[in-house]
Amino acid sequence: MIKVDLSGAAPFFDAAGPDYAAAAAAHRLLEEKSGPGAEFTGWTELPMRMKKGELKPILAAAAKIRSRSKALVVVGIGGSYLGARGAIELLRPLPGKDDPKVFFVGNGLSADYLNCVIEQLGDDDFDVNVISKSGTTLEPAVSFRVFRTMLEKKYGAAAKRHIFATTDVSRGVLRSMANAEGWECFTVPGDVGGRYSVLSAVGLLPMAVAGIDVAAVIDQAIATFGSLYRRSPDNPVWQYAAARQHLYGRGYSIELLASYEPSFRFMAEWWKQLYGESEGKNGIGIFPASLEYTADLHSMGQYVQDGPRKLYETVVSFEKSLTSFAVPFGMGDPDGLNYLAGRDLHDICRTARDAVKAAHISGGVPNIGVSVDKRDEAGYAELVCFFELACAISGYMSGVNPFDQPGVEAYKKNMFALLGKPGYEDMGQALREKLDGVEPREKYRLRCYNGDFSYILLEKKKKVDGLCRKT
């Protein structure tokens, strides 16, 4: 079962220590669905929903894909892909002999990356799982058009059997397209925000295709949610949420999530979205960042050890290694490493972790430990349930709604406006003028001199340079 170790953070607490009464109150808001955003707390019930029947069609679709295709292309961004990618890279960092490759697209706008995925697909049979509640987010929409076109060229009328849409139950562009084309559909639960959706079809279908035992994940998630609902300061969720809020109140505003397991990288990316979108509001919030130990100790270790004292670290550990590897003996000991000969790398890594913890604490960096037994389906499920519950409780403790994300739409609207999406023309014009550093256009008169265009500010009759380039 998941454990939290606060021994490395306790020296930085004040006399009162973490506020477990506030954690209890926040937990009550979540459990009773009486806090802000309560309509988006369905994620606490997802494992049981899956167990009661929703998992069956997901497993059937995954079996179909695994039986006929060498690859699955997952199209999505943010919560539509980070959870699944985190799980696959943690539990299946290299595909097994019979496992399809899983590619993730739609999370950026890089032509080079897109072409690289297409090149790796080659002539292999593949399927597409497009994940979007609306279907209008630019990055996945563009990528889906690309790979849908590829499927249609490859399979003709049969292409629709290779497309699986995970979207809103009844509304949105993607749902309308799926209904019209006859694609097999799965639902993004209406009472679950994207960053909390990994234990729904959003995450489970790609995970199952990759060969992860998602039934075991769901069984462990049910058990973990049950164990983490106890009302006690011994609850590791309370310990983590209360400790991080206490440290934040004492000026530690940056949290570094670290792990000594390289395959944890995209789990950390999932965690960053979960906490960043949930808590970064109203001018407050702990900034979530991540590091990969021991590698990043040789690049960021100096900053962590001796930089500004406003950061703390949360270190995720897997107590048992899935495999072993003993350091070999060297004749003559030319590299001086025979003192390690015969020792298992996992034990050496554990020692390194203890040494780093001691060094960072002495340097003024609070350390929170989070550990699970093994890097397997059970350990993954425990981490997901733990971090989701702790995020909701921590958000309520800070006084924000941990289930909305009002700031996310700002860049999307600007992007649509600058790209010329119909209906955004006026906004686009105003943005272009703002980016040029001028006031709204109606205050200017266009002037041409020797082929170069510029505006004259009518009110002050002053030339403003660089407002319009030669065309």
Catalytic machinery residues: 277, 298, 412
Burial class of residue 470, CB neighbours in 10 A (0-12, 13-18, 19+): exposed
Instruction: Decide: 455 and 468 in contact? Cβ < 8 Å.
Output: yes
445/103 Cα distance (integer angstroms) = 51
Neighbours of 228 (CB within 10 A): 21
Please, what's the b/e burial string for 50-88 (b: 16 or more CB within 10 A of its CB; e: otherwise)?
beeebbeebeebbebbbeebbbbbbbbbbbbbbbbbbbb
Q: Which of 278, 326, 362, 310 is nearest to 79 (CA)?
A: 278
Q: What are the start-end ranges of the H helices in 106-194?
A: 111-121, 138-155, 173-181
Q: Which of 423, 412, 428 is nearest to 139 (CA)?
A: 412
Q: Which of 191, 193, 183, 200 is nearest to 55 (CA)?
A: 200
Instruction: Decide: 128 and 75 in contact? Cβ < 8 Å.
Output: yes
Contacts for 438 with CB less than 8 Å, ≥ 6 apart: 444, 455, 464, 467
Measured CA to CA in angstroms, residue 465 lies from 16, 302, 396, 468 at distances of 59, 45, 50, 8
263/87 Cα distance (integer angstroms) = 9
DSSP string, 59-125: HHHHHHHHHH-SEEEEE--GGGTHHHHHHHHHH-SS--TTPPEEEEESS---HHHHHHHHHHHTT--
